Amino acid sequence: MKGITKFALAASLVAGTQASHQHHRHHHARRVVENLEKRSPEVVKYVEGPVVAVYELDGKVVEPEQAKAGIADGLYAVVGETTPTFTPPPPPPPPPATPTPSSTSTSQAAQFFEQKPTPTPETTSSSSSPTPSSPSAGSAGSSANPGCAVLGPTGIDADFPSGQIDCSCLPTQFGVQPVERLGMDGWLSFQQPDDKKWIPGVLINTIHQPISGGCPLNSFCSYACPNGYQKTQWPVSSQGSTGQSVGGLWCNAQGKLELTRPDCPKLCEKGAGGVFVENKLKDVANICQTNYPGDEKMSIATETKPGGKYELLNPDAKTSYWWKGSPTSAQYYLNNEGVEVAEACTWKSAKYPDSAGNWAPANLGVGKDIHGITYISIFWNQPTSNAKLNYNVEIIGDTSAPCALKNGVFTGGGNGCTTAISKPGGTATIVLTDS
């Protein structure tokens, strides 16, 4: 029972059974109450929250390394909240040695771990729409603003001069990609503490989220990076007190942008790589990534056009955002063919209210775990949406098991499937084709 996903998923693990399928589920920013398969003795309630991994057995938290060792040794299988299934893959590259689970936990056949997200309040939503996150030149008004001038090196690999650039300047000189359609001067989101202060080490009780205008004073301002890159800035020790994710640069009281992770002075960093999407459709298909940490809306667009191939962000658990001590993955929303960016990469689509944005038909999860294994999953966006995708999706390349959605049916017949990149330096491509 190897090849189970080890990055942040809302799922459950079942001990010691010789199941013919493996199960797991990615989940992000929605509420779910569903029954596990018949082996489960109880209903598991999933509450809205960031994508994290928490392992439990009989109501007791189990150390991640202990649980993962059991998975790696074939002692546990992952059971998803909606029981997506897939054919067990060949063993991925062996992870470093980890502690073996105790005999108490491994001997309890048909007992359940729960791997679930921790609650976080629903964020304020906006019907604004973003532009694609592909590289583009220029910045929002920076050329005419002397406060945007930079004396030192610029570029995506240059260090950001903390405290020197005006908050009115989107720092495109350092790789940031403007998302103009949101109506926030190219930024993704604004998060302002209630007391308008940021004190490292102090959790934030109340967060206000303006949804228009420029980066406000005393606020965290989140931004987009090129395809395959992710933002590096979030206040590590000053996240939301009740689980809200907070991300971006800090606009101080003097109107200057500050790094929130000074030990990571570059604003955008390359992900682990190796994951691509290829459009073989007749029309555009938008894949929308969540702004995380931040307001968690699906506002970062990869607008795939017919014949195009694009890199997707594959977060590396060793360097990317951790939430409450656990690594997180990237989550994408797969919108139907022909749905434009303005209607796809937004919370609520006016044109397609039941089948786009937060209600898109399907999700895609991508992440490289701490052992160096990249996992990729596709699954229905249930129970949020009942919409069906109007094209096929197949993951091909250096993968450990088949995983596809063809004519509305997943490999294995469940509600989703997962595969892993099976060798060091391998790649995988998510291919979109007509049904």
**Per-residue pLDDT reduced to its tens digit, 222-239:** 999 999 999 999 999 999
| pLDDT tens per residue, range 381-408 | 999 999 999 999 999 999 999 999 999 9
Helix (H) / strand (E) element for 189: namely: strand 189-193
Q: Is the peptide bond before 306 cis (omega within 30 degrees of 0)?
A: no
What is the predicted pLDDT for the residue at 275?
Answer: 98
Superfamily of domain 270-434: Thaumatin (2.60.110.10)
Q: What whole-number percentage of the chain has pLDDT above 70? A: 67
Task: Compute the average pLDDT of residues 295-324.
Answer: 95
At 239, list the tokens.
Answer: 């996240």
Residue 263, pLDDT > 70, answer yes
Copy the structure tokens of residue 212.
């228009």
What ranges do the domains of the chain cover? 11-115, 137-176+189-222+233-266, 270-434
Asked if residue 334 has pLDDT above 50, the reply is: yes
Q: What gap in Å lies between CA 76 and CA 64, rounded to an integer?
A: 13
Neighbours of 51 (CB within 10 A): 27
Q: Bigger pLDDT: 205 or 26?
A: 205
The closest alpha carbon to 416, from 427, 426, 401, 397, belongs to: 401
13 pLDDT higher than 80: no
421 band by pLDDT with thresholds 50, 70 and 90 = very high
Q: How far apart are CA 50 and CA 397, in angstroms?
A: 29
Two tokens, residue 135: 């590289």
Query: Which comes out higher in pLDDT, residue 93 or 156?
Result: 156
State the pLDDT at residue 330.
Answer: 96
The first and second tokens of residue 183, run together, are 């109506």
At 196, is the pLDDT very low, low, confident or very high (cuts 50, 70, 90)? Answer: very high
Residues 6+ apart with CB under 8 A from 32: 10, 45, 46, 47, 81, 383
Q: To the nearest whole percent, how much of the chain has pLDDT over 90?
A: 60
Between 103 and 232, residue with greater pLDDT: 232
| 135 CA to centre of own chain | 20
Q: Provide the pLDDT for residue 62.
A: 61
pTM score, whole prediction: 0.70
Neighbours of 35 (CB within 10 A): 12
